[in-house]
Amino acid sequence: MVFGADVSVVAALLPGMSEAETVVADLWATGTTPGCYPTEIVRDRLDELGVVVARRLRDLESGRRVLVAGVVTHRQRPSTAGGTTFVSLEDETGLVNVICSRGVWARYRSAARSAAALIVRGRLESAQGVVNVIAESLRVLPLAVGARSRDFR
CATH number of the domain at 73, please.
2.40.50.140
Whether 121 is covered by a domain: the verdict is: yes
What is the average per-residue pLDDT within 84-88?
Answer: 96
What is the rounded CA–CA span in Å between residue 122 and residue 30?
33
What is the average per-residue pLDDT within 98-118?
Answer: 95
- In this predicted structure, the answer to whether residue 37 has a pLDDT above a threshold of 60 is yes
Torsion sign over Cα 14, 18, 23, 27:
negative
39: enclosing H helix or E strand: helix 38-41
Whether 9 is covered by a domain: the verdict is: no
Whether 7 is covered by a domain: the verdict is: no
Q: How many domains does the chain have?
A: 1
Whether 11 is covered by a domain: the verdict is: no
Domain that holds residue 126: 19-152
Whether 83 is covered by a domain: the verdict is: yes
Task: Among 61-65, 110-114, 128-132, name the most confident range.
Answer: 61-65
What is the average per-residue pLDDT within 136-141?
Answer: 97
Whether 8 is covered by a domain: the verdict is: no
What is the percent of the chain where pLDDT is above 70?
80
